[in-house]
Structure 1
Amino acid sequence: MELTTRGGFSTRVFGTPPRAGQPALVLVHGLGLSGRYFVPLARRLAAQGPTVLVPDLPGNGRSRAAARRAPDITRHARALAHWHRRLTLGPVVLVANSVGCQTAAALAAEHPHTVSRLVLIGPALDPAVPARHQVLRLVEDAPREPLRLFGIAVSDYVVTGPARCAVEFRHALRDAADSFEARLARVQAPTLVVRGAGDPLASPAWTRRAALLTGDGRTAEIAGAAHAAHYSAPDATAALIRKFTADGPGEPS
């Protein structure tokens, strides 16, 4: 099922349709992509009963026309907050990958009432890593991902457009340098930071630091996966999320 709110904000819906105040999971994609690469995980999570919503952020994928220019991290977070209000959702479990983790951290910090739990998968960009090295790490990750994911990513980058992708990357670098860590420190929701064991972008040291910055953070690692662990290992990722959402505050996962 696909749902489009005012302004062309496209959302894939899995499981039961969203209803006012109903618990839901929201999956937030990375830079230049759409929600398509979250479909395997969304299907597994929805199979257990909850509503799973996978929006294409404004300027990306099916929501490309919703933004005339590539939004920065703050604008993406504001757009998500507005989308949340229009759907009259209660606090959601927010799951994000890569640069989507910066958007998720901004939403959780600026609009804490919208997020009950936060899951960051391969959080990027590491503020301590220079831009050139970030690009090299992304190139290093490519052959570690499933071939089908490479096809999805290339298709999404073409739809979003190379120029917009480049602008989004600059926005993300600026946010990583100026705001990402400060926003993580303001997150009130219990947080799980996940990395694929072979992820060259989100190092063990950075994922530990990201978790420690939050008020109630913990980490997990998925063997045999790289940066997009939710795509290459959707069953393991879904199991971690289900266990995390079942745990009480402060309980180890």
Structure 2
Amino acid sequence: MQSGGWPAPVEVEAAGHLGHVFASRAPARAGAPRTAVVLIHGIGVSHRYFTRLQGLLAESVDTYAIDLPGFGATPRPERTLSVEDQATYILGALEQLGVLEFVLVGHSMGAQFATAAALQQPHRISQLVLMGPVVDSKRRTVLQQALALSRDSLFYESPSSNALVLTDYFRCGASWYLKTLRVMMDYPTEKRIPGVTAPVLVIRGADDPVASVDWCRRLAGRAANGQLLEIEGAGHVVQHNRSEDVAAAILDFAGIRRPAEEVHPGRPG
């Protein structure tokens, strides 16, 4: 684990699968408990589109961005993994690293993995953050999802976010992407979220055509303790294009004080 600079990957085997964990340890602060935030990517992509967000969070908390089995530079599993399989990997990998309680953040399909993890071991998830969650229960066809994603990349993303996503899609490969797509389309997030006991924050870019405001509002409303936050001027990859806003939202939701907010002895507070 590194403190400063971009973290190197650690290969972790859990539940019979291999993934990569990119961990960064926050600077120690007297009297402040160590808190962990875990970042889970969506279909076809990797930790790379969390780089900006992880860097900001790492100023205040220990962070762990995971490349799930079959994504990024990890080996492809021999069979298609379910949402629950990936959730089991997340929990097992973090346990091996000694991370037993944490704030869990999932983006896009990662919101499904995060939801499943929060259901499997609720005692370990202090807060659950779902960014641009899928799949809208009123638009549950591949064509509708493809059109929404195309609109997002054409009109609401930056060149850098598009480059990150497209190069990761290429690395993922069509075969694994399509196998995982079927899993994503079949997972009923709206039916699973009522069982989550942790507080839930749903974050969406205000221009996101994939995770509509109606869908995100319905999802937050179905959580036992849920709320919705929209971030202006962002599409689906909100954590890359509005990383400062997203980092602040996560820390505020988890009740974590940032270094700049701390009151120091002998200084006005």
The answer as to 2:42 corresponding to 1:42 is: no
Q: For residues 206-245 of structure 1, what are the structure 2 equivalents within 5 Å?
A: 206-245=215-254
1:175 deviation in Å?
A: 1.1
Distance 1:70 1:161 in 2: 14
Q: Deviations over 1:200-248 (max 9, x none)?
A: 011111111111111110111100001111110000111111111118x
The answer as to 2:20 corresponding to 1:10 is: yes
Tell me the equivalent position of 1:142. 153
Tell me the equivalent position of 2:213. 204
The answer as to 2:160 corresponding to 1:182 is: no
Would you say the 8 A contact 2:26–2:59 is kept in 1? no
1:182 deviation in Å?
A: 2.3
Identity %: 32
Q: Deviations over 1:158-215 (max 9, x none)?
A: 2211111011111111113xxx222201000011001101000111111111111111
Tell me the equivalent position of 1:104. 114
Pair 1:70–1:150, CA change in 2 (3 A): farther
Which of structure 1's runs of 4+ aligned residues deviate more than 6 A?
none
How does the TM-score come out when normalised to structure 2?
A: 0.85
Distance 2:179 2:134 in 1: 16
Tell me the equivalent position of 2:165. 153
Tell me the equivalent position of 1:82. 92
Identify the match of residue 120 of structure 1 among 127, 130, 138. 130
Amino acid at match of 2:181: F
Would you say the 8 A contact 1:187–1:215 is kept in 2? yes
Tell me the equivalent position of 1:33. 45
Would you say the 8 A contact 1:84–1:114 is kept in 2? no
Tell me the equivalent position of 1:59. 70
Amino acid at match of 1:90: L
Distance 2:11 2:148 in 1: 35
How does the TM-score come out when normalised to structure 1?
A: 0.90
Would you say the 8 A contact 1:59–1:69 is kept in 2? no
Would you say the 8 A contact 1:69–1:164 is kept in 2? no
Point out the structure with max Rg over C-alpha: 2
Amino acid at match of 1:175: Y
- Consecutive unaligned residues of structure 2, counting only runs of 5 or more, are 1-6, 28-32, 257-269
Would you say the 8 A contact 1:108–1:187 is kept in 2? yes
State the aligned residue count.
239
Distance 1:70 1:157 in 2: 17
Q: Deviations over 1:4-33 (max 9, x none)?
A: 21353211112349xxx9531000000011
Q: Is the helix fraction higher in 1 or 2? A: 1
Would you say the 8 A contact 2:70–2:76 is kept in 1? yes
Distance 1:228 1:212 in 2: 23
1:95 deviation in Å?
A: 0.8
